[in-house]
Amino acid sequence: MKSCRLLVCALSLFSCVTGFAAEFRTVGANPAIMYDAPAERGRKVFVAPRGMPVEVVLTYGDWAKVRDVAGDLSWVESKALSSKHNVVVRAMNAKLRASPEDNAVPVFSADRGVILEVVETAPPGWVKVRHRDGLVGYAKVADVWGN
């Protein structure tokens, strides 16, 4: 009986781990102060610009521990985050294309650090995005972070 319970626990833990998907959020309409601890009396690490994508690693009360594009961890008040989906360009000069194909016509290019809004899901390996100027194109998933 005890070994049966252990097996059930192990299987449920395995299903939780394998079913894990990263939760990406975006800094809301205003810049957000990032802290080294989940409290306003913590040390202020930096100010994240509005629209910056972050990966939520953990939530603790009204706070979220997040990872940024550089891999740095910090804490932010959950109310400062939006469910809007943005990505940030990681490549030096990412080519955004008219369709999700390597040989498709480039629509525009974006430099490292540019924030793009995710428009819709695309075929595997691609993401359809919109620049703040209104230009829309497909980016390679390898060229962006936050999805």
Q: What number is the average pLDDT over the span 38-47?
A: 96
pLDDT higher than threshold 50 for residue 13 = no
The structural architecture, per CATH, of the domain 86-145 is Roll (2.30)
Digit-coded pLDDT (tens) for 56-88: 999 999 999 999 999 999 999 999 999 999 999
Sequence-ordered list of residues with C-beta below 8 angstroms from that of 16, at least 6 positions apart, any chain:
none
Q: What number is the average pLDDT over the span 18-23?
A: 66
Digit-coded pLDDT (tens) for 80-135: 999 999 999 999 999 999 999 999 999 999 999 999 999 998 899 999 999 999 99
Q: What is the pLDDT of residue 16?
A: 42
> 26 and 81 in contact (C-beta within 8 Å)?
yes
Q: What is the pLDDT of residue 20?
A: 59
Residue spans in the chain of domains classed CATH 2.30.30.40: 21-82, 86-145
**Torsion angle in degrees (nearest 10) through CA of 93, 97, 100, 104:** -110
pTM for the whole structure: 0.82
Q: What is the pLDDT of residue 18?
A: 41
- The CATH classification of domain 21-82, taken from the options 2.60.40.3080, 2.30.30.40, 3.40.50.1980, 3.40.50.300: 2.30.30.40
Query: If pLDDT is split at 50, 70 and 90, which confidence band does 14 have?
Result: very low
DSSP 80: G
pLDDT higher than threshold 80 for residue 12 = no
pLDDT higher than threshold 60 for residue 4 = no
Q: What number is the average pLDDT over the span 9-30?
A: 65
Sequence-ordered list of residues with C-beta below 8 angstroms from that of 147, at least 6 positions apart, any chain:
24, 85, 87, 118, 127, 141
